[in-house]
Structure 1
């Protein structure tokens, strides 16, 4: 009997040790740990602060797919449009500390706090990667009487020229403001929520001119449904499809400004989470998916990460303050 009791006691001790070991291992791990390293807490979500179909949506979906490929993490895309981007950014602000949320960022992140009463600025978030620079083209319907950017400026001196902008703080709003400052003319603006809505209105003859990213209108330019008058870039594009389009500067309108495309994480995440997403972004940059995104959207590749991205944002924010305040 004594030996039987001792036997059960030994078995109980071994079981207790095993359970204790399992409990300790569970307590020392976090959701998503992989071989002791950091991983996001479950599936990730990419917030796009504009509606589907525009440049921000294209960017967000390309980044999500690229990061998903290099990390193995499922990344869904969620459009939260409204308020020229303010709705999406405000929703993202509420995700502070969450390591599995990302947002497809662009110039609106800087412009919104300068022009609207919002509760955030770029320092509220964790900058991860700037993919590159996205300039715009001044485009019109194929039957428009305008043939150059100078024609548009000359017309605006004498009559009402209706210009569409995809949000009151968008890149096209900034570009038209810069043109007004440089030439002294004034445009009659009609705001829309996305580049796709601007494109539809231009094709429908409801507006006169629009400033859109090449990636949003390349198909219409190639089909002849739109014509480009000039590019608001420092130099002409090297892409074959755009090489013949003169810059605004060539036509006497000294304006160039690029919207950045990139992604951010919420504020308050750990250093490990920040480095995880930066490392994933760097791996994404080396992929065919990144090259395809840059080329298909006719962008200028210029990737920077982390602290370098912050430095870029500081300078870009200072430039925008001169225009928007």
Structure 2
């Protein structure tokens, strides 16, 4: 690149050098497949988690940041930017357009927010890097709750007030409760929280009757016996030993299942080299013991995709979500 700038400096006025040099960089980015200059972060990279610490998104973001850091050799710090059911973090991330030294731990809110709120972005505003896998939810109540199954919960909600915690208005848990209302005639009052961990605290404190959480967010409480699962909002039972005895909602006559994806995205407008750099690091992470541990510790389905394949998944899932949300 320094030689190109030298040639340009000899051919044009000093005032034009910056513009032409930037153009040359852009051409290098577009032609990375034919041997252009490779991308390398110049400093530390920041991973934004658009939800509060302690929840599933935070767990995913920190695991992914550590995995990509190991794979790339670049320092990656994590910053929680909660608020607006994820809208604050995503909106701040939008402002980093073209800056490949930022990443974001993404999930279904990427699709749900533009369908339910007035925001300046949709999934096409960003660069998909890696889909880590799929995360279904468990419907969980306190250990001393009178409800023993999701059928009990649905039937009770038709005649009495049942309060459900949701981690943001656009989260997977709210989608699950909405589907239960549409398909089973349930009726829930909702109390919003900023993360699954806060929702769990609300359940244990008696502020709500039921929560819908990812298994990785509730494993400790399940093992301690302070909560009990009513059903899994999944297509089939989990294979993990600690969850395999939990029936699906469908087994109880409630045909509801919806997966939340976990992934990582980069800002829009980054170079092809930068996109490929992070995809290569993501593939290395997916082949590591750290990735396997994350998936197994959080009891997820390891359905991985990268780049354009991840983008195709987002397009398809967005159409599905439009149907669910009646958009």
Alignment deviations for residues 174-219 of structure 1 (CA, whole Å, 9 cap, x no partner) = 0000111101221101111111110000011111011000000011
The more displaced of 242-251 and 178-187 is 178-187
Q: CA deviation at 1:41?
A: 2.9
Q: 2: CA distance between counterparts of 1:234 and 1:195?
A: 21
- 3-state SS, counterpart of residue 303 of structure 2: strand
The C-alpha deviation readout for 1:109-142, integer Å capped at 9, x for no partner, is 0000000000000000000000000000000000
Moved segments of 4+, more than 4 Å: none
Alignment of 1:22-37 (within 5 A): 37=38
* Cα displacement (A) at 1:226: 0.7
Equivalent residue, structure 2, for 1:178: 179
Once residues 186 and 180 of structure 2 are traced to their aligned partners in structure 1, the CA distance between those partners, rounded to angstroms, is 8
**Shift of residue 151, structure 1, vs aligned partner:** 0.2
Shift of 1:322: 1.2
Shift of 1:235: 0.6
User: In the alignment, what sits opposite 1:133?
Assistant: 134
Larger Rg: 1
Counterpart position of 1:101: 102
Instruction: Provide TM-score, normalisation by structure 2.
Output: 0.89
Whether contact under 8 Å (1:150, 1:252) holds in the other structure is yes
Structure-2 separation of matches of 1:221 and 1:165: 19
Deviations 1:299-321 (A, max 9, x none): 01000001110111011100111
Residue 293 of structure 2 corresponds to residue 279 of structure 1: no
Q: Which residue of 2 aligns with 1:113?
A: 114
Report if the CA contact (8 A) 1:41-1:99 is conserved: no
1:96 deviates by: 0.1
Alignment of 1:188-203 (within 5 A): 188-203=189-204
Query: Take 1:289 and 1:67, find their aligned partners in 2: how far apart are those partners?
Result: 10
**1:40 to partner: Cα distance:** 1.7
Q: Are 1:163 and 2:164 counterparts?
A: yes
What is residue 233 of structure 1 aligned with on the other side?
234
Task: Write the deviation string for residues 206-242 of structure 1: whole angstroms up to 9, x where unpaired.
Answer: 1101100000001110110110010001110000010
Residue 173 of structure 1 and its aligned partner are, at CA, apart by 0.4
Q: How many residues align structurally?
A: 300
Give yes or no for the alignment of 1:259 onto 2:260: yes
- 2:154–2:185 CA contact under 8 A, matched in 1: no
- Name 1:213's counterpart in structure 2: 214
The CA distance in 1 between the partners of 2:218 and 2:196, in whole Å, is 9
CA distance in 1, matches of 2:254, 2:158: 14
1:15-164 mapped onto 2 (5 Å cutoff): 37-164=38-165
Counterpart for residue 8 of structure 1: none
**Which residue is 1:295 aligned to?**
296
Aligned-partner Cα distance in 2 for 1:100–1:308: 22
- Structure 2: gaps spanning 5 or more residues: 7-20, 26-36
- Check conservation: 2:83, 2:194, Cα contact below 8 A: yes
How far residue 37 of structure 1 moved from its aligned partner, in angstroms, is 2.8
